[in-house]
Structures are given as C-alpha cells and as structure tokens.
C-alpha cells in the first residue's frame, strides 16, 4: 500500500514562541537554554543566532563566546507545551494517525484524507496557513512517500519551507551526492566509521552495501535500505498511556551533599510529577529516583508496586529509595513514577487539577511544605501552582540551595 506522509517541524520552536510573545526580540540573536553564567546547553536559538555558529546542544559557554551580543533566556516549557497542544489540534484535523516526535514535530499519515498528491499539497498549505493565523508561528512541511523522505523534505527548505519527495527515485537523486550524514539516522560517529572506509556520500553507501552492512551490522542494513529510498515504516499514533514513565529531574548549579536538602527538593519534584500525571489522566504503580553524582556516575533505584497517587506518597517512597544510595555529592536528582495506567481520554484542565488538590490529601503535604517554607522564609503553599513551572521550580531550588 502506498502511503502519503507529512512531516511537520516548527522553525526554531522555543525561540519563535518567545519572539512571537515579545516582538522586540524579532531579528535578534536569541538563545534559549541556560544562562551564560550557569552550566548547561543551548536548547535552541533563532536563525539570527545560528549565523554566529550557535546551535542546539552546544555548551552555553561556547555559545556565549561565539555570540556575546545574544539575548539569553531560560526556556518556558509549560508555555511551549500549551502551544504544542494547539498544533496537535491543527495537525490531527488532516491525519488519521499522528506520531509526535517532539513538542514541535510530528509525522502525519494523510493517505486517506489526502487521497492523492494534490490533496496532500493542499493539506500542507492549510497546515502552514493555520499555523501562522492561529498560532502565530512558521513551520516547515515535507510531503513524501515515506517517513524518512518526509523528514528529509521538511528539512530541505527550512525555515518556513515546503518540499515534496514523491518516490524512492526522487529521494535517491536528491541525496546521492550528499554527505552520508544527510541520511538523518547517520550521526557523526557512524559517519566517521564510514569515512574511514572511504564511504563519504550516500552514493558511496549504495555502491558499498556489503561493506556498510559488515561494518555496522543491523544499523548497516537499515542505512543501506534508506540510502535506496526504502522505508516502509508506518506512522504510529501517540497514545499517552504508552508513555512508560513520568519524571522530573533537576541539575544543581553546584553539587549538593546535604541529603536533607535533597529530600526537600524531592518533595517539590514529586509534586510536579503528580501534577503532570494528573494532567494526562495517568497513575503510576512504581516510584523511581535517579541520581547523578559529581563525577557523572548515575544510579537509579525503584520500587513497585507501591501506592503513588499523591505527591506525598511519591515523596515518601522516594525518600526510602534515597536511603539506598551512596551519600556523595550530587549533581542531579530526579523523581518519577512508572508502570502507568489510566483512562486515556481524561485530560484534566489546570483548574480541575487545582480543585483536586484543594479537596484531597493536602494536609500532610501542606504541613511538610509549611515546615520547609519556614526554613527559607518562602510561601510554598500559596505558590504551589507556580512550582509546576519547571523554570520557577529550578529558580526556587537554587534560591534554597544558596540560603541554607
């Protein structure tokens, strides 16, 4: 069966949302991620910043060296998530299955709704227009016969791009002379291996298929297939209950050795995990913690089945798990729930969640929050909702760390 697949990818997503909401940022190099004086990386940046050589995943210090005149901002994930939900609404109108790859990116199976390439073209146009009119952002859209080709097509004319690749021949013609990394599953490490064997372009892969397979095993088989334009993968619709776990984690600006403080942070993380689970209508049967020590060694501990409906239950389990790990200096702490179950359709609004909080278990949690709040002269109870914003959470924890 022939498929018609659209791949849609927002342009400089986090940065574009911030520019949309503050037009004075327009035309400027905007870098979203850590601040230059913090440790961390660039999440994304505006196309103006990319001209300085800044890119996603780059160490923030390196970005600052390249672009000291840039504007640096922390990401606001809650905001991007809301935007993402609006985008889903638009996308889902035209697809029978939507596979979300990131907040800003999805494969859409439009085979049935488009009927033919002309129909797909119209859908792509409509998605681009509605994204502009209703969300105030631009996206790049690829229309193609396969997922790989659709992904390649959406990259082709970025930003605000549109491109189509209608069959394997077109795909092969387009990529043959390009570097092996043009095949989007080939990363720098794989490319290095291939190049050591004289395989530089996609054409070279096609004329050295046995070498590639021998060199890379299973991955090599896959790479030779896509180098020939073969990819029969289906669009797999996202369903929230397929998510294996929900977790929140946080990296301290400076390593922390005080485990009482770590426990306080765990409570805030547990609240955030609970909120997120409620919002997607899911419950967990297991609790896990993750710790990365100062030397980047990571450990996880988990327990199932346990009751972990509420933040305080998640917290109590997490504290038990913390007792099982070495007490050394900690760089990162994470708390999560897993073995999820729940009613898919039940997406709670923020108000619903807030109501549930007001009604239920709050006593133990509030006592704990009050106790911690007193220590730092902070009002955790009055500001509970703000704490679900990761950025606020991060700032609050840093404040606590410095004021112990």
Q: Which does 107 bind (CB under 5 to 8 A by kind): ligand DCP, Mg ion, none?
A: none
3, 56, 59, 245: which one binds ligand DCP (CB under 6 A): 56
The smaller minimum CB distance to ligand DCP, of residues 141 and 175, is found at 141
Give bridge partners of residue 291 from the DSSP assignment: 299, 333
- Note whether 76 binds ligand DCP by CB under 6 A: no
Least Å distance between CB 43 and ligand DCP? 3
Q: By CB under 6 A, how many residues form the interface with ligand DCP?
A: 15
Q: Which does 304 bind (CB under 5 to 8 A by kind): ligand DCP, Mg ion, none?
A: none
4, 7, 8, 13: which one binds ligand DCP (CB under 6 A): 13
- Note whether 180 binds ligand DCP by CB under 6 A: no
Residues numbered 143 to 162 that lie near ligand DCP (CB under 6 A) are 158-159
Q: Is residue 105 annotated as a catalytic residue, yes or no?
A: yes
Nearest one of 119, 113, 109, 97 to 4, comparing CA atoms = 109
- Note whether 12 binds ligand DCP by CB under 6 A: yes
- Note whether 10 binds Mg ion by CB under 5 A: yes
18, 48, 99, 104: which one binds Mg ion (CB under 5 A): 104
- Note whether 231 binds Mg ion by CB under 5 A: no
**Which one from 48, 105, 274, 317 is the annotated catalytic residue?**
105
99, 105, 275, 313: which one binds ligand DCP (CB under 6 A): 105
Q: Which does 56 bind (CB under 5 to 8 A by kind): Mg ion, ligand DCP, none?
A: ligand DCP
8, 9, 124, 333: which one binds ligand DCP (CB under 6 A): 9
Point out the residues that are catalytic.
105
| Interface positions with ligand DCP (CB under 6 A) | 9-14, 43-44, 56-57, 102, 104-105, 158-159
């Amino acid at each position: 069966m022939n498929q018609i697949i659209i791949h849609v990818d927002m342009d400089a997503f986090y940065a574009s949302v911030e520019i949309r909401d503050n037009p004075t940022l327009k035309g400027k190099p905007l870098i979203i991620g850590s601040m230059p004086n913090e440790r961390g990386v660039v999440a994304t940046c505006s196309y103006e910043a990319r001209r300085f050589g800044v890119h996603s995943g780059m160490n923030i210090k390196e970005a600052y060296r390249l672009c000291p005149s840039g504007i640096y901002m922390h990401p606001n994930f809650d905001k991007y998530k809301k935007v993402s939900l609006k985008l889903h609404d638009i996308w889902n109108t035209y697809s029978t299955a939507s596979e979300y790859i990131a907040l800003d990116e999805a494969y859409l199976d439009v085979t049935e709704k488009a009927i033919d390439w002309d129909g797909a073209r119209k859908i792509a146009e409509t998605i681009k227009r509605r994204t502009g009119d209703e969300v105030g952002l631009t996206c790049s859209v690829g229309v193609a016969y396969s997922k790989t080709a659709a992904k390649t097509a959406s990259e082709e004319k970025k930003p605000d791009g549109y491109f189509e690749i209608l069959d394997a021949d077109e795909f092969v013609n387009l990529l043959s002379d390009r570097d092996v990394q043009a095949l989007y599953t080939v990363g720098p490490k794989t490319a290095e291996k291939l190049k050591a064997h004289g395989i530089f372009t996609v054409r070279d892969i096609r004329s050295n298929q046995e070498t590639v397979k021998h060199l890379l095993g299973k991955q090599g088989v896959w790479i030779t297939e896509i180098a020939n334009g073969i990819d029969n993968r289906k669009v797999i619709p996202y369903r929230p209950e397929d998510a294996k776990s929900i977790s929140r984690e946080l990296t301290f600006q400076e390593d922390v050795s005080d485990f009482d403080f770590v426990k306080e942070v765990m409570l805030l993380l547990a609240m955030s995990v609970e909120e997120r689970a409620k919002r997607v209508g899911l419950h967990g049967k297991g609790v896990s913690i993750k710790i990365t020590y100062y030397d980047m060694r990571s450990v996880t501990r988990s327990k199932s089945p346990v009751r972990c409906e509420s933040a305080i239950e998640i917290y109590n389990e997490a504290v038990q798990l913390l007792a099982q790990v070495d007490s050394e200096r900690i760089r990162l702490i994470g708390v999560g729930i897993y073995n999820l179950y729940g009613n898919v359709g039940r997406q709670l609004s923020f108000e619903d969640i807030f109501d549930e909080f007001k009604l239920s278990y709050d006593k133990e949690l509030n006592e704990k929050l009050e106790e911690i709040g007193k220590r730092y002269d902070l009002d955790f109870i009055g500001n509970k909702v703000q704490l679900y914003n990761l950025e606020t959470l991060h700032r609050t924890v840093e404040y606590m760390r410095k004021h112990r």
